[in-house]
Chains A and B, each alone.
Chain A
């Protein structure tokens, strides 16, 4: 901690030995700010996708639906038979027949709130909730086929798995974009550091003539670029935060009910962006300085 503080505070005399080069300074701050701005959104995307995947995995895995076709003869008898099968199946916690109002609510997004469900040939739906141990889907399906022919057991697997896979890929994409942003920032800072080192070639020569070690010379550049990147990233992350706050409510945008952005401990990531940017700049400048000083004998 003491070392980090000493690094941040620096030594005015030692820092003064290498003059600040305006172009590379401004470039570093701008690149760090722009990359941090993008990183916040990539991070928000990744975290939101992660929450969505978890939410779908949890919610949908806990329920299944039994569908009795509308044209099934003697629907009431079939309904009773189906409920009986479900109630006597090990692992089923509850089997609830959906009321007309609930069916109407399900159809409302497509047909409006006044759809006359009673007069439509709609299938009857039964919501099945498993207990902690769960039930044997294949076994239940076989029993239903035998006792309630035409009934369809939907455990949501057919559409849940692609959705989950999509959400997980979205999360992976978010992290990949973050890694790419980090790499681009490292590359840009490396270029800026090389430019600064080249612009100060004569100063480096004088410093060497008076007995400066490579570590001393590199330190002046590394410290400067690290602080600039950290400062730029803090500004960029702050701006991104303002934009995130100004965005419309999450469920209006996505319809998923999952908030786009940062929730709870996610905010720590936002604070980490300037720190990570500074670390990337520190490493990139150190490598650049080491190479450049090796070349410049």
Chain B
């Protein structure tokens, strides 16, 4: 099964670790002294008000940004010392569902979903996994359509399919339910919970607390709140 965990991090190894990390745009510090550890198989929600830096924190987690200070370790490797090619290899172990999906509009949905395999020169694997994945996210009939032709929910599901096609150790989702209705958000979350049950580490950034509350009973999730540059564990208010 393509979604099965074929390359999980070693037992006990922290898959993503932020150690005393600071980041800011220009002279404005977004956060400082921030630490976070994601162990294999864990499920985290990252909440916080708009502009708190949730997306920035996620981008640090998949080496799209480099910390101004502190250490970001991805699968035990210092992200600050990785070459561009090494970053590419690390990203194959981290599936990301971007807020704006980040599709290539000139390719079909099927080709977009298969893109991580294509760039890894594993196109043959795509033939086997694609139909299964399209069925999993219920996008079989839309396989040949271009991204702009799909609805918001369909795009998000396609983005999720692309994020998991490499069978990554970690799935990071940035506001995956931001542009979809309640029913679709529940459907997307159930897919992410299913992935977590398969052993994937999940990190979801969302400002939708109601959505978190709705799945608390289904998954053993930690909820972290990013506010005023500090990351704290959310308490009973959820």
The answer to whether A and B interact is yes
Chain A residues near B (Cβ < 8 Å): 11, 13-14, 16-17, 19, 203, 205-216, 293-294, 297
B183 within 8 A of A: no
Once the chains bind, are B84 and A297 in contact (CB under 8 Å)? yes
Chain B residues near A (Cβ < 8 Å): 62, 64, 84-85, 87-89, 91-92, 96, 98, 102-104, 106-107, 111, 114-116, 118-121, 123, 126, 162, 166
Once the chains bind, are A211 and B102 in contact (CB under 8 Å)? no
A297 to B63, CA, bound (A): 11
Once the chains bind, are B162 and A210 in contact (CB under 8 Å)? yes
A206 proximity list for chain B (CB < 8 A): 102-104, 115
Cβ-defined partner of B91 (8 Å) among A11, A17, A209: A209
Once the chains bind, are A17 and B115 in contact (CB under 8 Å)? yes
What 7 pairs across the A-B complex have the smallest Cβ distances?
A212-B119, A211-B92, A211-B91, A210-B116, A213-B88, A213-B85, A19-B106
Once the chains bind, are B85 and A209 in contact (CB under 8 Å)? no
Once the chains bind, are A209 and B84 in contact (CB under 8 Å)? no
**Chain A proximity of B51: nearest CB distance (Å):** 22
With A209-B98, A213-B89 already in contact, 19 other A-B pairs whose C-beta atoms are closer than 8 Å:
A13-B118, A13-B126, A16-B106, A16-B111, A17-B119, A19-B106, A208-B84, A208-B91, A209-B64, A209-B91, A210-B115, A210-B119, A211-B88, A211-B89, A211-B119, A213-B119, A214-B85, A215-B85, A297-B84
A70 to B226, CA, bound (A): 113
Q: A206-B102, A211-B119 are in contact. Are A16 and B84 (CB under 8 A)?
A: no
A294 to B84, CA, bound (A): 9
A297 proximity list for chain B (CB < 8 A): 84
Closest to B87 in A: A208
B104 proximity list for chain A (CB < 8 A): 17, 203, 206
B106 proximity list for chain A (CB < 8 A): 16, 19
B126 proximity list for chain A (CB < 8 A): 13
Closest to B165 in A: A210
A14 to B124, CA, bound (A): 12
Q: A210-B119, A297-B84 are in contact. Are A17 and B89 (CB under 8 A)?
A: no
